[in-house]
């Protein structure tokens, strides 16, 4: 009898206990990243039309010449970005060697074959059915190939030998961009992505801080040496000339410093709230090729410092989403690949805006998603597609 009562009590206690919480894995898609990319692209198209309409009418008799080309390419690239996001990014591990070799060979074709095309005095384009800059492929090659090499190295990545091998792999593509396409800015970005990925994958921080400090000191020393020893009147090296222009643009107001000064005038005349969309004066020929590298100065002139801050906030949110994806990626390969995209976008935004406000010498780097350029938008969208592909494989636990 006592046993029966005891059994009933145990049964009642079991009923009162809560049922165990079931956990299930849910698919994730980063619609926030997709939204901010589309928002930046649409904003870029609006500013592109406002910036380029006058010069497009003068040159081509069509004020929408630049806008239509960029809008068509952007729409197609957004579709391609979404399609890439649906593909398993692990498939890239099978084509690492092909991608790396193709990037190097295509850059070599620019220099050594008739397929290379000169645009605005620079031979950086390759025409194979379509016209594009193969140095942009080199950026993606570094973003994909170095993470793969780091994964294969495993714990050996913290050794000096491994770091030198990774650095050499990036340096070869950076050197190719400089030697074959005469594109120093892209070479710097490729090497910057390489250094950033090595830093992210390496467990120690102090060696990189020391190398960075030494690098800054050497660069400052070189700038001061050039300033003290090079005569602007007799100098024929245009890269040294750019450094001299950066230090004192007002001394070159009628020459190489003209674009920089006009961009600064545009920013200054815009004030905090700007002249109003479409009301820029500097875009009427004062800022050469305003729709390209210097488009940020027109943004500030028409929308003011407030508009410039808005653009920076959009890029900040884009980088935050990339950081979130890298942090929650399902594996190290995905995390490092998105980290490479993060480093690339960061460097390009910093370089472009720093040039516009004369914080560094002119480098010819475009502002992502906003400056005019079909090749740039095409490969940027491909990178965003890779980031979304990694994000799609993130799994969260439902409680």
What are the pLDDT digits (tens) for 357-381?
A: 888 888 878 899 999 888 889 999 9
Tens digits of residue pLDDT in 241-264: 777 777 777 777 777 778 888 888
Domain boundary among 204, 236, 264: 204
- As a whole number of angstroms, the distance between CA 173 and CA 193 comes to 11
> Average pLDDT, stretch 12-18?
53
* Residues 127 and 75 reside in one and the same domain: no
- Looking at the DSSP bridge assignments, the partners of residue 122 are 119
Please count the residues of the chain.
Answer: 399
Least confident of 22-31, 52-61, 104-113, 302-311: 22-31
* Residues 276 and 337 reside in one and the same domain: yes
Residue 270 lies in a domain: yes
Domain boundary among 146, 180, 204: 204
C-alpha triplet 266, 268, 272: angle, nearest 5°: 110
Residue 237 has φ and ψ, to the nearest 5°, of -85, 115
- As a whole number of angstroms, the distance between CA 214 and CA 227 comes to 20
Report the candidate in 85, 1, 4, 3 with the shortest Cα–Cα distance to residue 37: 85
* Residues 259 and 370 reside in one and the same domain: yes
Mean pLDDT of the chain: 85
Q: Which residue has the tokens 């884009």?
A: 318
* Residues 359 and 379 reside in one and the same domain: yes
* Residues 332 and 277 reside in one and the same domain: yes
Q: Which residue has the tokens 């009301």?
A: 279
Residue 58 has φ and ψ, to the nearest 5°, of -70, -45
* Residues 259 and 143 reside in one and the same domain: no
- As a whole number of angstroms, the distance between CA 280 and CA 269 comes to 9
User: What per-residue confidence (pLDDT) applies to 71?
Assistant: 92
C-alpha triplet 221, 223, 226: angle, nearest 5°: 105
* Residues 274 and 156 reside in one and the same domain: no
Domain count along the chain: 2
Give pairs for 10-17: CB < 8 Å, separation 24+.
none
Can you read off the two tokens belonging to residue 9? Answer: 């009590």
- As a whole number of angstroms, the distance between CA 381 and CA 77 comes to 6
Residue 355 lies in a domain: yes
Half-sphere exposure of 363 (CA within 13 A, CB side): 25
* Residues 60 and 80 reside in one and the same domain: yes
- As a whole number of angstroms, the distance between CA 100 and CA 194 comes to 14
C-alpha triplet 381, 292, 337: angle, nearest 5°: 30
Residue 172 lies in a domain: yes
Residue 16 lies in a domain: no
User: What per-residue confidence (pLDDT) applies to 290?
Assistant: 81
Per DSSP bridges, beta strands 24-26 and 396-398 are antiparallel
- As a whole number of angstroms, the distance between CA 261 and CA 246 comes to 10
- The answer to whether residues 334 and 183 touch, using CB atoms and an 8 Å cutoff, is no
Tens digits of residue pLDDT in 204-236: 888 778 888 888 888 888 777 776 777 666 666
- The answer to whether residues 127 and 115 touch, using CB atoms and an 8 Å cutoff, is yes
Domain boundary among 143, 176, 204: 204
Q: Which domain holds residue 179?
A: 93-204
> Average pLDDT, stretch 122-143?
86
User: What per-residue confidence (pLDDT) applies to 217?
Assistant: 86
- As a whole number of angstroms, the distance between CA 127 and CA 134 comes to 10
Residue 281 lies in a domain: yes
Residue 216 lies in a domain: no
- The answer to whether residues 235 and 261 touch, using CB atoms and an 8 Å cutoff, is no
Can you read off the two tokens belonging to residue 75? Answer: 């729409």
* Residues 31 and 76 reside in one and the same domain: yes
* Residues 145 and 185 reside in one and the same domain: yes
- The answer to whether residues 183 and 377 touch, using CB atoms and an 8 Å cutoff, is no
Least confident of 76-85, 110-119, 326-335: 110-119
Residue 76 lies in a domain: yes
Judge whether residue 318 has pLDDT over 90.
yes
Residue 9 lies in a domain: no
Q: What are the distances in angstroms from CA 168 to CA 142, 191, 194, 267, 365?
A: 11, 10, 9, 40, 24
* Residues 167 and 54 reside in one and the same domain: no
> Average pLDDT, stretch 272-290?
83
> Average pLDDT, stretch 195-212?
85
Strand order in the sheet with 116-119: 116-119, 122-128, 130-132
- As a whole number of angstroms, the distance between CA 134 and CA 107 comes to 5
* Residues 42 and 157 reside in one and the same domain: no
């Amino acid at each position: 009898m006592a046993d029966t009562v005891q059994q009933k009590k145990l049964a009642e206690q079991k009923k009162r206990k809560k049922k165990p919480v079931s956990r299930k894995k849910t698919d994730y898609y980063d619609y926030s990243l997709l939204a901010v990319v589309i928002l930046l692209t649409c904003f870029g198209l609006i500013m592109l039309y406002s910036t380029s309409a006058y010069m497009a009418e003068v040159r081509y008799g069509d004020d929408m010449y630049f806008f239509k080309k960029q809008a068509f390419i952007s729409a197609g690239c957004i579709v391609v970005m979404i399609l890439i996001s649906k593909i398993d990014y692990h498939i890239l591990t099978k084509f690492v060697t092909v991608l790396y070799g193709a990037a190097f060979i295509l850059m070599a074709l620019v220099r050594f074959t008739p397929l290379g095309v000169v645009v605005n005095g620079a031979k950086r384009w390759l025409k194979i059915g379509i016209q594009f800059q193969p140095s942009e492929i080199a950026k993606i090659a570094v973003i994909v190939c170095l993470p793969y090499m780091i994964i294969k190295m495993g714990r050996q990545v913290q050794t000096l030998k491994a770091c030198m091998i990774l650095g050499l792999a990036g340096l070869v593509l950076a050197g190719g961009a400089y030697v074959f396409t005469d594109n120093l800015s892209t070479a710097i970005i490729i090497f910057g992505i390489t250094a950033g990925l090595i830093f992210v994958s390496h467990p120690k921080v102090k060696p990189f801080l020391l190398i960075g400090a030494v690098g800054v000191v050497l660069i400052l020393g070189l700038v001061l040496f050039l300033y003290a020893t090079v005569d602007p009147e007799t100098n024929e090296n245009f890269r040294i000339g750019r450094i001299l222009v950066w230090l004192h643009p007002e001394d070159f107001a009628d020459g190489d410093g003209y674009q920089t000064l006009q961009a600064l005038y545009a920013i200054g005349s815009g004030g905090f709230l700007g002249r109003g969309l479409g009301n820029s004066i500097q875009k009427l020929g004062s800022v050469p090729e305003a729709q390209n590298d210097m488009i940020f100065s027109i943004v500030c002139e028409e929308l003011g410092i407030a508009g410039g801050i808005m653009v920076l906030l959009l890029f900040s949110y884009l980088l935050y989403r990339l950081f979130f994806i890298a942090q929650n990626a399902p594996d190290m390969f995905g995390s490092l690949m998105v980290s490479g995209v993060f480093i690339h976008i960061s460097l390009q935004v910093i370089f472009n805006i720093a040039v516009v406000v004369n914080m560094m010498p002119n480098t010819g780097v475009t502002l992502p998603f906003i400056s005019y350029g079909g090749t740039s938008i095409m490969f940027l969208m491909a990178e965003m597609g890779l980031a979304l592909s990694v994000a799609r494989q993130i799994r969260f636990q439902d409680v």
